[in-house]
Amino acid sequence: MCDAVRPDRTSAPHWHWQLSECIEALDLDAGHVLLDFSRNEGIFARDLSSAVGCKLQRAPAPRGAQDDKTASGEPSLVACDRGLLWGFQDHSRGPPAAGSEDGAAFLQELRTLRKHLKPGSKLLVAIRRYGDLPWPSTWKLGWPKCEEDVVRRLRSAGYDDVTLREVSYPCELSLDRWCAFLRSRSWSNALEKHISDDQLHQGIENLREQFGSCDCTVQHLQFRDCLVFITAEVSIFGPKGEPKGSAPKRRRTTWASNPKGNVGLEMAQLRPLPLGLRLARDGFVAPLQVLSSEEAAEALFRLDQHVAATASARTEDKLCVEDLDGDNRFKLHVLYPWAERLVRHPKLLDAVRAALGTDDVLVWFSDVNAKGPYSLRHAARHQDGTYASLSPSDLAVTVWLALTDSSTSMGGLIFQQGSHLQGQLPHRVDLEEDNMIGFCSSHDDSATLDASSVPVELRAGEASLHTFRTVHWSGPNLTPHRRVGLAIRYVAAAIGRNRGLAVRETATLAAGCYDPSQGVFDLEPPPADNAGPAERAVHADAMAREQANYSADIDEAA
């Protein structure tokens, strides 16, 4: 799915977001029957049906066919309670002009569709704003906006409660993939017929001249994929006001309505979305059950052993994980077989594969996050992708695996729901002693909680998962207990860089396949011994490469 060269599928998370937004707009769940009225291959509707477990039926007769017959001449479909007209401007017919033959036929289609929807049913018409995409400026395309006309047609066709809203997703697409899409001439509305081969070639050359000078190995375009959702309902009343039926009232639940996190279970019972769609909707997923309490305690014991081994030459004091500093906090999975097994835990990889939409996954980084009793250490409000130089950034996620309990009072993570849809935000260097990350959002107000702020509390062995764009932070530990976790940064093997770097960094193959000659990372060998000479050499090399790139980014930001 994410390998398709199309602007509506720049990545699997982009596709997941579209599905989640559509499910929300239709209030779609497993008890519904969805009627797909879209004039396309139907892939989106099939994925939608699969995500919620609802029944799917394809459209009745196209334009010009009899209302009581399907395109194949079979009897009409049974009544459905949800209707979908997806990618309206993908249709070859284009937006129908008022008063035209096409406009009259479209109005008849809407009326036909209404006959196959039960009273109280919902219909969604989704229009993609193709004019916001990075077309060659020399083409002068002038995409028409037809949503207001569609609203009028829906009302004329007898639909009630017609509403319009816009949603958008921050996309990153390599210049090579975008140019391949242009060459394919698979654009919407048959507009490609208006562009000659010479214009096509010249437009691609202009794009390469415009973006080819940026400082990165592979040029990436950034744009927002904007969708206009028009929803309408089939009236429960007849022409004379007589009741035709009743629409069931369904309970709606959001994270903001229950900040303690129980809403996750409630929403799963109401509308059991796959993990990838929940992540695309909220920017995070929690809790995930990964380790037993005994396995978490064993991992914590191993960490304390690592601290003792690295501190023996420096001090006679007994130190704990909270005292780790410098490179000793990072990439333990290249030093110890037990840590390498931890980052490749099957339950973690199942979640990450679902989130990224690929079987080919790398561990880019891992770091120990620990706060001792009554520690003032905290993480300022930030996005993980700020200095990562990875693109598309939605092909990178962080798993935060709790090795002890992690409550809000212990300095647990707080996520801003939906913040990943803002794209990359401005950040600044913050060298405050107790800030664990060294930077923060330019508008850092971590002490302020609003309706979108969701504290996530984890038991030892549980994990949370969030995107590299999700704004999050954590406060100090106000309790007499230690709070220890392992942050693991996973990336899709196909991820690229959005700028030139001093050196190539290294990563560990966690699942699937990876060819370093086609990717942006060199591979790290798995550890064979507990911090032996070979393992320490690999670790030192990996940290030196990362520090060379990160220091350059921080110096530039400062």
Q: CA 247 to CA 554: how far, in whole Å?
A: 57
Task: For 64-108, write each residue's pLDDT tens digit.
Answer: 444 444 444 444 566 899 999 987 654 434 444 444 555 677 888
pLDDT band at 170; cut points 50, 70, 90: very high
Most distant CA pair in the chain, distance? 89
Model pLDDT, residue 268 = 35
Predicted model pTM: 0.87
Does 184 have pLDDT greater than 90?
no
**Where residue 243 falls among pLDDT bands split at 50, 70, 90?**
low
Over range 178-197, report the average pLDDT. 73
pLDDT value at 394 more than 60: yes
Instruction: Work out the burial of residue 210: count CB atoms within 10 Å of its CB; fewer than 13 is exposed, 13-18 middle, 19 or more buried.
Output: middle
Predicted local confidence at residue 556, as pLDDT: 58
Q: How many CA atoms lie within 13 A of 167 on its CB side?
A: 17
Angle of helix 12-26 relative to helix 43-52, nearest 10 degrees? Answer: 70
CA distances for 155 relative to 28, 114, 169, 298, 543, angstroms: 22, 12, 29, 64, 62
Per-residue CA distances from 511 to 15, 297, 353 (Å): 22, 26, 9
Average pLDDT value for residue range 289-310: 94
CB atoms within 10 A of CB 250: 11
Closest by alpha carbon to 287, among 391, 448, 412?
Answer: 412
For the chain, give the number of residues: 558
Counting other chains too, the contacts that 267-270 makes at CB distance below 8 Å and 24 or more residues apart are: 270/29
Q: What pLDDT shows up at residue 87?
A: 72
What average pLDDT does the structure give for the chain?
83
What average pLDDT does the segment 127-143 reach? 79
Phi, psi values for residue 437, rounded to 5°: -110, -15
Q: What is the pLDDT of residue 553?
A: 59
pLDDT of amino acid 420: 95
The CA distance from 43 to 9, in Å, is 12
- 3-state SS, residue 254: coil
Distance between CA atoms of residues 280 and 355, nearest Å: 8
Per residue in 320-378, pLDDT (tens digit) is 777 787 899 999 999 999 999 999 999 999 999 999 999 999 999 999 999 999 999 98
Predicted confidence at residue 47, as pLDDT, reads 93
User: Domains of the chain, with CATH numbers?
Assistant: 11-62+72-170+223-248 (3.40.50.150), 282-426+453-557 (2.60.120.620)
pLDDT at residue 73, rounded to an integer: 47
Average pLDDT over residues 445-470: 90
pLDDT tier at 433, thresholds 50, 70, 90: confident
Least reliable range by pLDDT among 34-48, 127-141, 421-435: 127-141
